[in-house]
Amino acid sequence: MDKKIFSLLVALMALSLLGIIFVQWYWISNSYDNKETQFISNVRQVLVNTSEEIELKEIEKYYTIYSDILSEAGTPESISISELIYKINTDKTNDSFIFSDGILEEDYKISTSFLDTDIDSIVFKKVTSKTKTQKVLQSIDGSSNKIIKTESFARLKDYEKIQFENAFANISTNTPLHRRVTAQEIEKSISKQLEDRGVRSRFQFAVYSNNLATKVRSKKFEISPQTTFRVPLFENNDLNKGYQLYVNFYEQERDVWSTIFGMSILSLCFTSVIFIAFYSALNQLVKQRQIAQVKNDFINNMTHEFKTPIATIGLALDALKNPKVKGDEVFFAKYLKMIRDENKRMLGQVEDVLRISSLEKNELDLPKEHHNVHHIIEDSVSHITLIVEDNGGYVKPHFGALKTDVFVNEPHLTNVIVNILDNAVKYSEGPPKIDLYTQSTKDRVIIKIQDQGIGMSKAVQNKIFDKFYRVPTGDIHNVKGHGLGLSYVKKILDDHDAKITIESEKGKGSTFIIKLHLIS
């Protein structure tokens, strides 16, 4: 895939994902704002209704007592009558209707002890409407008249109640607050109003007078500018007196979130699924692009993996041509064995790709036997000695392990060590200088392969065991290989339940550390 097309595709996918995340965030934020506005509106209406209910309940309580007292009142203090009389004649029968509408006002002085006030008594009016109708029927000859009278009375209780409320509002301002309402009544009223509106929120409250808290309050009430609401209580505009009811819905934010929590979680879950799918797709694209990039390297460089064994064979053949070697059967046999071993190793290089594939599918069954790890190291070193010496370097084993018996697959463990030694040669700028150390612990034998090559950064160390990864050198043919060697090393050691780590610093060489289980 072209680099520009790939970058454009990634950018479009990222932009789409960001757009989805923004839409989800906007929806959640907008839903929260709407629910918060609705919550505030409901709470304010609840407080207004609560204030009205408390005030009405107080008036109803005292008006019932007042009505009973007024019904049993004796002689009024004074009486006043207002009367309106008017007459209507009919055209057809000459009959006349005389109407009389009157208002009877009786003033009573009633004790105010039931109002819990210091005033001894107060005058209230008992108002009665009186309606009289007279129908005058004239005879045909007009000589005599017949009069029919009707009369009705009615108490004007609504008028009396309004009058009582106006008087009571002024009288009750002198009544202590705790006699007018209790904390239990306020709490009960607010709870009922909240329940009627479907609001489930815990609250604390307090009644204030002139910005000073009264004793009518919740135990843990505290004013918070963000969550405390206020409404007038027992307000008297004529006397400029009254109280303020403060209610703190201290879990307001949690209550608002709870209304959209379910949908928000679903939205976040779906967004997370989209994000994971996007990340997976992007990761696959990146991997595919990396594979495409290394494909050409693999094709161009795979044949160069034969360089080490071919070079060794070439040097051995040159040595065999030497007349001194021809006459020495020991050296002759040694170089023939070296050629045979390198030829075998070259075949092993050809099979590396198939071997890695089998390891990926867990199809490789490695038979393991008891071996001496020092013997395996010596055999591995012999494969690389000629190449190292030809480059003016050295490879030296330093055996310090006291326990050396391991349960391993000898050919594959040999290949592991040879691969690491081969890399040490490749990534040495001057003559390769390689030291191998062994030491044993209670249950493990430790192999350290130390070189003085170019070293590597931390970022590179995290990737060197990845399949097809090759340490960058700035020139594709500078260091030959197809990036399978260390991947193969890692998988073989994993099959042996062994550990491999690396210690390295740029420009100061690298040390590979292998830890194998000892035979008990």
pLDDT at 130 over 80: no
- Residue type at 232 in one-letter notation: P
For a pLDDT cut of 70, what percent of the chain falls above it?
66
Give the span between the Cα atoms of 463 and 512, in whole angstroms: 14
For the ranges 71-75, 123-127, 295-299, 463-467, the one whose mean pLDDT is highest: 463-467
Which own/partner pairs from 83-86 qualify as long-range (CB within 8 Å, at least 24 positions apart)? 83/130
Give the span between the Cα atoms of 131 and 83, in whole angstroms: 9
DSSP string, 275-310: HHHHHHHHHHHHHHHHHHHHHHHHHHHGGGGGHHHH
For the ranges 236-240, 253-257, 421-425, the one whose mean pLDDT is highest: 421-425
483-492 pLDDT tens trace = 567 877 888 8
Domain boundaries, the chain: 3-59+176-250, 73-174, 293-517
Which pLDDT belongs to residue 460? 82
- Matching residue, tokens 């939205």: 267
Per-residue pLDDT averaged across 164-169, rounded? 66
Better pLDDT: 91 or 237:
237
Better pLDDT: 131 or 411:
411
Which pLDDT belongs to residue 343? 82
373-428 pLDDT tens trace = 999 999 999 888 888 888 899 999 999 999 999 999 898 899 899 989 988 888 88
Better pLDDT: 195 or 58:
195
Which pLDDT belongs to residue 128? 61
Better pLDDT: 396 or 316:
396
For the ranges 26-35, 80-89, 295-304, the one whose mean pLDDT is highest: 26-35
Which pLDDT belongs to residue 474? 45
**Sheet of 204-209: strands edge to edge?**
212-217, 204-209, 241-248, 228-236
Give the span between the Cα atoms of 99 and 109, in whole angstroms: 33
pLDDT at 476 over 50: no
Q: Across all residues in the chain, what is the average pLDDT?
A: 77
pLDDT at 245 over 70: yes
Which pLDDT belongs to residue 465? 79
Per-residue pLDDT averaged across 311-330, rounded? 78
Backbone φ and ψ for 107, nearest 5 degrees, come out as -95, 125
pLDDT at 33 over 50: yes
User: Which residues, 6+ apart, have CB-to-CB distance to 294 below 8 Å?
Assistant: 468, 470, 483
pLDDT interval class at 372 (50, 70, 90) = very high
Which pLDDT belongs to residue 98? 61
pLDDT interval class at 516 (50, 70, 90) = very high
**Strand ranges (E), 67-174:** 78-89, 96-111, 121-138, 145-155
Q: Which residues, listed in sequence order, are joined to residue 86 by a DSSP beta bridge?
A: 99
Better pLDDT: 123 or 448:
448
The answer to whether residues 488 and 356 touch, using CB atoms and an 8 Å cutoff, is yes
Give the span between the Cα atoms of 420 and 512, in whole angstroms: 8
pLDDT at 29 over 90: no
The answer to whether residues 479 and 471 touch, using CB atoms and an 8 Å cutoff, is yes
pLDDT at 439 over 90: yes
pTM: 0.44
Say what angle helices 373-390 and 329-350 make with each other, to 10 degrees. Answer: 100
Token pair listed for 260: 């959209």
Q: What CATH number has the domain spanning 293-517?
A: 3.30.565.10
